Amino acid sequence: MEVLLQNCAGMDVHHETIVVCTLNTDADGNVQSEVRTFGTLTKNLFELLKWLEAKTITHVAMESTGIYWKPVYNILEGYVDVTLANAQRIKNVPGRKTDVCDAEWIAKLLRVGLIEASFIPSEDLREMRDLCRLRKKRVGNLTAEKNRIQKYLESCNVKLGTVISDVFGASGRNLLGRLVGQGYVDAHDVDECLKGSIKNKKEQVADSLFGTMTPHQMELIRDCWEHIEFLEKSIASLEGKIDEHLQPYREEYELLQTIPGVSVATAAVLIAEIGVNMDQFPTAVHLSSWAGVAPGNHESAGKKKCEERKRQYSRKSCIMRSSMGNRSLKKHRTFDKILEDCV
């Protein structure tokens, strides 16, 4: 195969060690290989960087192993060209599975250009991506705590949810706050806490609050309520930080919200996950494949076999689902056309 890179290296990254194989080509075309093992502490990573510079390495490739690649990437970024490879696409032949062999194999593939680089956004987008994903976790925790409080209320026969559609609306929060604060809610408190049209049901609300709550159940509800208050403050803080990171992308942020089905939060996630430069996604098909919502090809002897799609634990899957959120839109336009609008 044609050699594309004269001086390159492959790395096999682990939790405690990094095995590095360098390939240097001299003027006569001879290849000199050297393998070294480094630790993963910060000082070890700087030693790795100095060694690569001494070996005149210009390109480095490594597998996307969990989160272990991130500290290495943060140190090497800006000094050498770092290629992050999908581990499934650079597997070695069976029977040659050692750390040294893996590093050598990655270096050889990089040298002849057989490694497809994974998409890594810029540093500010990586920070915004962390904030958006943490916000998603916080919202999930908040929903879980609200469900837990309703479970405790039902267990002590407080039927507030049967009278008020949203227990954590304005009226419901007032009642729960009074319940947590003083341990009970009387008829006078109910009249003060209710807002809007729910005042017409104050007698039913008062009857629904009459239950068999024990001090133990009250402590559980109070603990969940305090956690809810913390989560709400945390979500508000995260949204403020996300908004600060969105300042350079304000035009794209507002433009994304004109797509049916894309909310304010989803627009922020779209920018955090895929950025605003679509050069890394030549077509809508590439974007849908990267997001894990496009089925792969698995055909043998003229028969197509079923293959599971990628598991979608991150917000990348919301990119596709949000773009198809409007049912009337789906009737008149194809999926690819919708994705092209996003790209």
More confident: 89 or 267: 267
Mean pLDDT of 311-336: 50
Which position has the token pair 């039913």?
204
**Has residue 123 got a pLDDT over 60?**
yes
User: Across residues 168-184, what is the average pLDDT?
Assistant: 82
CA atoms within 13 A on the CB side of 225: 22
Q: Which of 4, 8, 125 is nearest to 56 (CA)?
A: 8
Same domain assignment for residues 99 and 208? no
Domain-terminating residue out of 85, 111, 137: 111
Asked if the structure places residue 1 within a domain, the reply is no
Structure tokens at 186: 């009387």
Residue 118 inside a domain? The answer is no
pLDDT at 55 over 80: yes
Confirm whether 156 is domain-assigned.
Answer: yes
Q: To the nearest whole percent, how much of the chain has pLDDT over 90? A: 43
Residues 209 and 266 in one domain: no
- Give the model's pLDDT for residue 213: 81
More confident residue, 293 or 237: 237
- Give the other-Cβ count within 10 Å of 234's Cβ: 16
| Beta carbons of 6 and 24 less than 8 angstroms apart | yes
d(CA 54, CA 306): 49
pTM: 0.80
Please identify which residue in the block is written with the tokens 């050498």. 80
Q: In terms of residue numbers, what domain contains 163?
A: 124-245
The reply to whether 192 falls in a domain is: yes
Residue 291 has pLDDT above 90, yes or no: no
Does 142 score more than 60 pLDDT? yes
Let me know whether 154 and 178 are in one domain.
yes
In a domain, 28, yes or no: yes
Report in angstroms the alpha-carbon separations of 286 from 259, 273, 321. 20, 14, 16
Q: What is the pLDDT of residue 80?
A: 94
List pLDDT tens digits, range 143-162: 999 999 999 988 888 888 88
| pLDDT band at residue 331 under the 50/70/90 scheme | very low
* CA distance linking residue 133 with residue 137, whole number of Å: 6
The confidence score (pLDDT) of residue 234 equals 96
Identify any residues that bridge with 9 across adjacent strands, giving them in sequence order.
22, 60
**Domain at 15, CATH number:** 3.30.420.10
| Parallel, antiparallel or unpaired: strands 299-300 and 303-304 | antiparallel
Residue 308 has pLDDT above 70, yes or no: no
Question: Would you say the C-alpha torsion 295, 296, 301, 305 has a positive or negative sign?
Answer: negative
Considering its fold, how many domains does the chain have in total? 3
On whether residue 173 sits in a domain, the answer given is: yes
| 303 is a domain residue | no
Angle at 286 between CA 93 and CA 278, to 5 degrees: 125
pLDDT of residue 328: 46
Ranking 38-52, 164-178, 218-232 by mean pLDDT, the lowest is: 164-178
Burial environment of residue 48 by CB neighbours within 10 A (0 to 12, 13 to 18, 19 or more)? buried
Q: pLDDT per residue over 210-259, tens digit each? A: 877 888 888 998 899 999 999 999 999 999 999 999 999 999 999 999 98
Residues 139 and 239 in one domain: yes
C-alpha 38/C-alpha 177 separation (Å) is 56
Q: Mean pLDDT for the chain?
A: 84
Q: Is residue 116 part of a domain?
A: no
Question: How high is the pLDDT of residue 186?
Answer: 76
Backbone angles phi, psi at 245, to 5 degrees: -70, -20
Does residue 173 sit in the same domain as residue 214?
A: yes
Instruction: Write down which residue in 227, 245, 263 finishes a domain.
Output: 245
Kindly state whether residues 86 and 64 are assigned to the same domain. yes
Q: What is the mean pLDDT of residues 24-35?
A: 89
